[in-house]
Amino acid sequence: MAKLVWFRDDLRTLDNPALFHACEKDEGQVFAIYVISPTQWLRHHWSPSRIGLIRRRIEALTAELAALNIGLTVLMADTYSEIPELIASHCQANDIDHLFINKEVGFNEGKRDREVKAALQLLGVATVAYDTRAILPPGSVLTGKGKPFSVFTPFKKAWLRLFSSAGVSCLPRPKARQCHTLSSSNNEASSWPENINVNNSQTVTEEQILGTLRQFVAEKVNDYHTDRDVPSIAGTSALSPFLAIGAISARQCIARLLYQVSGDLSALSEGENVWLSELVWRDFYRHLIEAYPRLSMHRSFKPAYDSLQWCNDAQLFQQWCDGLTGYPLVDAGMRQLKHTGWMHNRLRMVVASFLTKHLLIDWRWGERYFMQQLVDGDLAANNGGWQWAASTGADSVPYFRIFNPLLQAKRFDPDGSFIRKWVPELKSLAVPEIFEPHKKGRNLLAGDYPMPVVIHAEARQRALAFYKGINDATLP
């Protein structure tokens, strides 16, 4: 009999419980599969750049598994509903008696896995699942009353207490199998969507990705608390695309961070602590989306906010998408997203606040558009970030947090270099004119750059009136 490892959002050989435990005993054959689901990916708004990264990572993973004498076969099931029968047939054809998987985030993914398990049970095939959805598994960090946390700061305190006791230990890469199980089947190359963006400069091998992690922790993390907010500086880890597809685990990230300080959390620098907080934020949103399945169903975390009647002006939304709002920092961020499939985190907050608070457009429109563009699109983080910006989510600050895009530009792009890069029609303008190219009384050469679609002060008052009356304290 043989064992089967089904790769999903865990495209790595290191710290991969499903792969490690399938190979734990050097007996029997081990096969691996990955399933392409084009229509399902479209329903989930996966971007071409994300799918392109997955394809290139699959190519590298195939070689890495081959070095372990494990063959990876790429199968195709157009939607999740087709997967149970597909995997059942594959198990029968290869005499499989155990399927090994790592759990995924999301309601549809959980439903799919339950249906696969049921289909395999009829064949006498056991399903073995491991929880790698977060550093600390969803449901393990709870309040004193045994409920999920709805605010980040107390969640982080409880998370740190548990983590300090449990620690972190990443699983090694399995040893090479004694028996060869390499597959000669066609890896369904023709089944990949045609419009994917394959960025040939993007690193995809496991060693390259680990090198990015090591370099960031060794050279940049101590300045992370300041550099991460400046979009013109490459001060972030650049690991988010790989975390999103599971080419590296968050456990590996935190393990590397602790290695720098010999495992002593109290010895972390300010920059290291801020990066640790970002990893905990990732866990927070994953815990939330598992505790409240409606977050996977386009519902607000705070139920009262489902009653908001958004303005949803389609023309304004398109101007926001195209980076033509007349607010240079907002437009620079949106153009960066469209051109690269990525956006600096500070700008994600600024543009999300602008869409929901200045334009009063439903956060779900922005959430969907981001997923359609982002190479690092992540269901839990994207949903959590958009609901945070719209004040419909898990946040201790009431709805009156409204980012001023002008002040944000002056603070985080003080010399205007990021704006000049992405809004070239303003590149000849000096500071401070570049922040307000159409300011009354100034004869500026702003080219065809549009006038502001709204006036900040007026938009702020309109937003406050729009949200007023909703019980902001209403929680699930």
Which sequence positions are flagged as catalytic?
Answer: 278, 281, 310, 345, 363, 386
> Which residue, among 40, 288, 46, has the nearest Cα to 159 in the 3D structure?
288
Question: Residue 158 to residues 122, 290, 294, 412: CA-CA distances in angstroms?
Answer: 42, 18, 24, 32
| Amino acid in the structure at residue 79 | T
Pull the structure tokens for residue 11: 């495209």
What pairing do the DSSP bridges indicate for beta strands 126-130 and 96-102?
parallel
Q: At what angle do helices 345-353 and 405-412 cross, to 10 degrees?
A: 170
The CB-side HSE value for 298 (13 A sphere, CA atoms) comes to 10
Question: Residue 86 to residues 77, 91, 191, 315: CA-CA distances in angstroms?
Answer: 7, 9, 15, 43
Give the Cα separation of 91 and 214 in Å (integer): 39
Give the Cα separation of 330 and 428 in Å (integer): 19
HEC profile of the chain: CEEEEEECCCCCCCCCHHHHHHCCCCCCEEEEEEEECHHHHHHCCCCHHHHHHHHHHHHHHHHHHHCCCEEEEEEECCCHHHHHHHHHHHHHHCCEEEEEEECCCCHHHHHHHHHHHHHHHCCCCEEEEECCCCCCCCCCCECCCCCECCCHHHHHHHHHHHHHHHCCCCCCCCCCCCCCECCCCCCCHHHCCCCCCCCCCCCCCHHHHHHHHHHHHHHCHHHHHHHCCCCCCCCCCCCHHHHHHCCCCHHHHHHHHHHHCCCCHHHCCHHHHHHHHHHHHHHHHHHHHHHCHHHHHCCCCCHHHHHCCCCCCHHHHHHHHHCCCCCHHHHHHHHHHHHHCCCCHHHHHHHHHHHHHHCCCCHHHHHHHHHHHCCCCCHHHHHHHHHHHHCCCCCCCCCCCCCCHHHHHHHHCCCCHHHHHHCHHHCCCCCCHHHCCCCCCCCCCCCCCCCCCCCHHHHHHHHHHHHCCCCCCCCC
